[in-house]
């Protein structure tokens, strides 16, 4: 065992002592210790206060450490807690500018360390929290399980939730990943089935947890833990996703808008699940490119969807490649700032008379389809001084007489 591990276990034992003290007082056994340079600055355990409100161990310990040091924030400290902190405590930990969180047992229903990882990963977040999990996990978990087992048989009776906080491991192998499309603009474009799946989810993989959190507030009744799963962490996150599933969690995945894995994150997660034998269930729903293709009036008989063109390197070669031969209707996404340049490039390859369509603001108030030849559409855009909103560009196949 390394010195670091030994130190972690030493302080986690102190946190466990706090947790046992809480139990003796009939409270949920969660304990917390805050340490800086080997010195304990504050300890705490769950406390039931007036009106039956529980003060969480982390909050109690943070307040004790602030009182002890006289400092308003606690940089350079490590917080040990026997169970993965909840969202509220994560907020307090971040505000206190604590550097490292070490927790024992994972609690998939209320635990929020995934969010801490998000903040840690997030380039805009200046304060970084390092999270270490699983220190004395067995001891921390069994203390909680024993407490709630006793609570259920009625030996401990006051202010105790009747349900155990740990999701029991189901023996039904590996579960299902639900892939759920979300609206591309109009909030009403969500299916009854999608809402049912989202409301049943324990864990929801999101491209951006804040964005999805705001979206889901509009529908209500969705209480899943939001876990970030974007292009920068998707590969590493796959193991976490499989662990959520193995622990019996109901896992769903969304992207910011539309169908996950279509010019959005999700592909790597789906592959990892298929490889691990997890059932992947995809709900049908909104996707900008299918919507735009149908609205374009161009043939959908043979279609090549290519996502976003490369911005710089290889752009010309890439365009030649996708438009080569003109055997299919080509659908791509483009930013409104580059769409005029794209049309110029397309005209140079297929000529100015090829029919195209640009669809933008789909399903929103200012939804619009610009249809015509490449030259017509380019002229129309130039005349109004550019476009706004993400564009779907549909380029007709070559029709040989
Ligand atoms: Zn808490």
Sort residue 337 into left (φ over 0), alpha (ψ -120 to 50) or beta.
alpha
Rounded Cα distance between 104 and 31, Å, is 10
Query: Which residues crowd ion ligand 1, with CB under 5 Å?
Result: 56, 86, 89
Q: How many CB atoms lie within 10 A of CB 119?
A: 17
Kindly give the distance from the C-alpha atom of residue 58 to the centroid of ligand 1, in angstroms, as a whole number: 6
Quick check: 346 and 319 in contact, CB under 8 A? yes
Quick check: 31 and 45 in contact, CB under 8 A? yes
DSSP per-residue string spanning 36-79:
ETTEEEEEEE-EE-GGGPEEPHHHHHHHHHHHHH--SS-TT-EE
Rounded Cα distance between 84 and 97, Å, is 18
Kindly give the distance from the C-alpha atom of residue 372 to the centroid of ligand 1, in angstroms, as a whole number: 59
Kindly give the distance from the C-alpha atom of residue 89 to the centroid of ligand 1, in angstroms, as a whole number: 4
Kindly give the distance from the C-alpha atom of residue 248 to the centroid of ligand 1, in angstroms, as a whole number: 23
Is 369 buried (19+), middle (13-18) or exposed (0-12) by CB count in 10 A? middle
pLDDT in tens, the chain (401 residues): 788 889 999 999 999 999 998 888 778 899 999 999 999 999 999 987 655 677 899 999 999 999 999 999 999 999 999 998 887 888 888 889 998 899 998 876 666 665 555 555 455 556 677 888 889 989 998 998 888 887 766 544 343 443 334 433 333 446 899 999 999 999 999 999 999 999 999 999 999 888 999 999 899 889 898 988 887 777 778 888 888 888 888 999 999 999 999 988 899 899 989 888 899 999 999 999 999 999 999 999 999 999 999 988 888 899 999 998 889 999 999 999 999 999 999 999 999 999 999 999 999 999 999 999 999 999 999 999 999 988 999 999 998 65
Write out the two tokens for 393.
């560009």
Strand-pair partners of 227: 205
Supply the pLDDT for residue 89. 87
How far is CA 250 from each of CA 136, 178, 243, 340, rounded to the nearest angstrom?
26, 8, 11, 45
Compute the residue count for the chain: 401
The H-or-E segment that residue 104 falls in is: strand 100-105
DSSP secondary structure letter of residue 354: S
Kindly give the distance from the C-alpha atom of residue 111 to the centroid of ligand 1, in angstroms, as a whole number: 8
Catalytic residue, chosen from 58, 107, 207, 234, is: 58
Rounded Cα distance between 158 and 165, Å, is 17
Quick check: 370 and 399 in contact, CB under 8 A? no
Alpha-carbon Rg for the chain, nearest whole angstrom, is 27
Kindly give the distance from the C-alpha atom of residue 168 to the centroid of ligand 1, in angstroms, as a whole number: 21
> What percent of the residues of the chain are helix, what percent strand, and what percent coil, each to the nearest 5?
40, 20, 40
For helices 234-246 and 267-275, angle between their N-to-C axes, nearest 10 degrees:
50
Rounded Cα distance between 289 and 261, Å, is 13
Quick check: 231 and 208 in contact, CB under 8 A? no
Residue with tokens 């039931």, as numbered in its chain: 48
58 is catalytic: yes
Q: How many contiguous H segments (helices) and E segments (strands) does the chain have?
A: 13, 17
Write out the two tokens for 336.
């409104």
Quick check: 81 and 104 in contact, CB under 8 A? yes
Kindly give the distance from the C-alpha atom of residue 176 to the centroid of ligand 1, in angstroms, as a whole number: 29
């Amino acid at each position: 065992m390394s010195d670091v591990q030994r130190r972690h276990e030493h302080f986690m034992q102190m946190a466990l002592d706090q947790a046992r003290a809480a139990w003796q007082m009939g409270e949920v056994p969660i304990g917390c210790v805050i340490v800086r340079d080997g010195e304990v600055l504050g300890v705490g355990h769950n406390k039931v206060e007036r009106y039956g409100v529980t003060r969480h161990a982390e909050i109690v310990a943070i307040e004790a450490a602030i009182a002890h040091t006289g400092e308003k924030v606690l940089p350079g400290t490590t917080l040990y807690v026997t169970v993965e902190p909840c969202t509220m405590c994560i907020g307090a930990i971040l505000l206190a500018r604590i550097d490292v969180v070490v927790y024992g047992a994972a609690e998939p229903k209320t635990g929020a360390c995934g969010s801490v990882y998000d903040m840690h990963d997030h380039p805009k977040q200046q304060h970084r929290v390092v999270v270490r999990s699983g220190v004395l996990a067995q001891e921390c978990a069994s203390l909680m399980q024993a407490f709630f087992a006793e609570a259920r048989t009625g030996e401990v009776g006051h202010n105790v939730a009747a349900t155990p906080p740990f999701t029991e491991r189901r023996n039904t192998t590996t579960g299902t990943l639900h892939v759920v499309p979300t609206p591309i603009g109009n909030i009403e474009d969500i299916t009854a089935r999608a809402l049912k799946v989202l409301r049943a989810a324990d864990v929801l993989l999101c491209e951006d947890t804040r964005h999805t959190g705001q979206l889901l507030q509009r529908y209500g009744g969705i209480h899943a833990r939001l876990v970030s799963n974007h292009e920068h962490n998707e590969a590493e996150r796959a193991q976490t996703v499989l662990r959520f599933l193995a622990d019996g969690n109901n896992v769903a995945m969304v992207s910011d808008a539309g169908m996950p894995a279509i010019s959005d994150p999700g592909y790597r997660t789906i592959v990892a699940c298929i490889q691990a034998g997890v059932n992947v269930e995809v709900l049908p729903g909104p996707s900008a490119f299918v919507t735009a293709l149908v609205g374009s009036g161009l043939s959908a008989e043979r279609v090549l969807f290519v996502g976003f063109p490369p911005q710089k390197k290889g752009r010309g070669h890439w365009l030649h490649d996708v438009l080569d031969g003109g055997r299919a209707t080509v659908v791509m996404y483009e930013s409104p700032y580059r769409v005029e340049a794209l049309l110029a490039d397309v005209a140079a390859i297929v000529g100015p008379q090829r029919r195209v369509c640009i669809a933008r603001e789909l399903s929103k108030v200012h939804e619009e389809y610009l249809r015509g030849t490449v030259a017509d559409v380019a002229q129309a855009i130039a005349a109004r001084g550019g476009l706004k909103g993400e564009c779907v560009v549909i380029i007709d196949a070559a029709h040989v007489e």
